[in-house]
Amino acid sequence: MFDNRVLVVGDVMLDRHVHGHVRRISPEAPVPVVGLLGEVRTPGGAGNVAAGLAGLGCDVTLTGLVGADAEGAQLREALAVKGVARLELVERPELTTVSKTRILSEAHQQLLRLDRDGDRARFAACEDAVLERVLPLIADQTAVVLADYEKGVITPKVARAIIAACRSRGVPCVVDPKKVDFGPYAGATVVTPNQPEAERTVGRPLVDDDEAGRAAEELRAALGTDAMLITRGPHGMTLALPGAIHHIASRTRDVSDVTGAGDTVVAVLAACLGDRWPIADACRIANTAAGIAVGRPGTYVVQAGELQAAWGGLSPKILRGEDAAPLLAEARRRGRRIVFTNGCFDILHAGHLSCLEGAKRLGDLLVVGLNSDSSIRGLKGPARPVIRQDDRASLLAGLACVDVVVLFDDPTPVALIRMFEPDVLVKGGDYTIDQIAGADLVLERGGRVVALPLVPGLSTTAILDRKAG
C-alpha cells in the first residue's frame, strides 16, 4: 500500500507477554499461581511504531538506545520478526534496555506488569550520539517519526535538532508526545497527543468537540505546527489545521485491546505524509487503522491489505490469506485456539449460523474460508453463486461469531489450512474425517477435526428448490 522510507527515532522497548493458566491461590501469600504456558516477545514503544510501518510496506529505519544485555538482543530478534531490518540502535554497556513484562491469565486478563526502565539521565547523556546517528539519515527519508515515551531518548535538544533538519529538507515530521511541555516539538508537521496528554498540557478538561477543537488550535498555533491531532478514544479524533477544525468520528465497533492504538495512528500518518497525502485524509485513514487495531487482541500490527480493504469500505474482518496468516500466528503465540471452517455460504441462512456458532464454541478465533465466485462456478455450475463474493463475505463478517473471512479460488481450502495451521478444523454435514479436505494436515499437527450436524431441512439448495417450485 505504501512504498516509502520512514525513519523512527525514540524510546525502544521490549514487550514480553507471559501467559499461563491459573488454577489455585498460593499457600505462601494471597496471590494466584500461574502455570506457565508460553512467552511472546514483541517490540514496544518506538519499536512498535517501526513494526507498524513495516506492516504497511514501508522501508523503515529505527534509531534508539539499548543496553548490551539480553533484553537488547531479544529486542533485535523481535524487530527482525516484524520486518524491521534497518537498525541504527545506539548500544552502550552502561545502559539498560527498557522492557515491560506482562503476566496474563489463560483468559488474557493482565495479572501483573513488571517494568525494567533505563536510567533517564544516562539515556539523556547519549543525545549527541543519537543525533550523530540520525541527522545524516534524514535527507534520504520521505518521513520521520519522533516516538517520545519520556524515557530519555528524545531530549529537547534531540527533538529540536531533528525537527529543524526535517523542516530544512522538506521532510514531514510526526511527533507522538509524552512531555508535559510541548515546546520542544515546535515546528513539527503534526503532533498527536491523546486526550489525557492534551488536557495535561493545556490544563483543563476537554469535555466535548468544541473544547477539543479549541485546545487543538491553541496548541497548533503556539507551536507553529502544520497540524495538531488529538486522539480521543471512542470519541474519535480532533484535527486542527490553519483556519479549520475537523472532528473525525471513531470507526471502532468492538474493542478487544487498546494497547498500541496510538502507535498505529502515528505509523499510518507517517506513511501517508511520506506519500504526500493531505493531512486531513491521512488522519481519516489513520482513524480507520486504529479501529482495526483495537479490535484485535494484544499489540496488533495492521497489515497493508486489511487497511486498504477497510478504507475501501469492506469490513476489517475480510482479509487476504497473506494478511490473515501473521494475525493468526500472533494469536496462537498468545495461547489462543484457532478454529477454521469453510464453505460457499450462498444465501446465508439459519443452518449456516448454527454451524458457525458451534464452530466458534470450539476455540477463541473463528476463521471462515469462503469460496470465491469462480470457485463456486467450478463446483456448482454457471448459475451459481446467487450472491456475489463481496456481499457473501460482508454478511459473514457481520456475524459476531466470525473473526476472520478469507476468500479462496481453489476447489478446496487446503492451501489456507496449510498456511493458517488451525488448531480445530470444522465442517458441517455428515462427513467422515477422511472426507474433510485438509483433515490430515490438522491431525498431523495434533489438532482436532470436527463434523457438526446440519439443521434438518435448511440448505441453500433446498431454499432455491422451494423458490423454483
What is the spatial distance between Cα 78 and Cα 375, in angstroms, rounded to a whole number?
A: 38
> Degrees (nearest 5) of the Cα angle 90, 91, 94?
130
Cell reading at 311: 478504507
Cell reading at 259: 494497547
| Contact call for residues 319 and 309 (beta carbons, < 8 A) | yes
For every residue of 103-156, DSSP letters joined together read EE-TT--EEEEEEE---HHHHHTTHHHHHHHHGGGGGG-SEEEEE--SSSSS-H
- Among candidates 213, 201, 212, which has minimal Cα distance to 175? 201
Number of Cβ within a 10 Å radius of residue 34:
19
What is the spatial distance between Cα 273 and Cα 19, in angstroms, rounded to a whole number?
A: 38
Omega prior to 32 cis, within 30 of 0: no
Buried b / exposed e over 159-172, threshold 16 CB at 10 Å, is bebbbebbeeeebb
What is the spatial distance between Cα 404 and Cα 421, in angstroms, rounded to a whole number?
A: 14
Amino acid at 69: D
Whether 263 sits among the annotated catalytic residues: the reply is: yes
Binding-site annotation: residue ranges for ATP: 194-197
Task: Return the residue matching grid coordinates 488448531.
Answer: 423
Exactly one of 176, 263, 346, 373 is catalytic; name it. 263
Counts for the chain of helices (H) and strands (E), in that order: 17, 20
Cell reading at 391: 456481499
| Contact call for residues 17 and 42 (beta carbons, < 8 A) | yes
For every residue of 368-406, DSSP letters joined together read EEEE-HHHHHHHH-TT--SS-HHHHHHHHHTSTT--EEE
Buried b / exposed e over 347-383, threshold 16 CB at 10 Å, is bbeebbebbbebbbebbbbbbbbbbbbebbeeeeeee
Residues in Cβ contact with 106 at an 8 Å cutoff, skipping those fewer than 6 apart: 19, 20, 21, 22, 37, 335
Binding-site annotation: residue ranges: 194-197
What is the spatial distance between Cα 143 and Cα 8, in angstroms, rounded to a whole number?
A: 9
What's the order of all strands across the beta sheet hosting 424-428? 404-408, 365-371, 338-343, 424-428, 448-452
Active site residues: 263
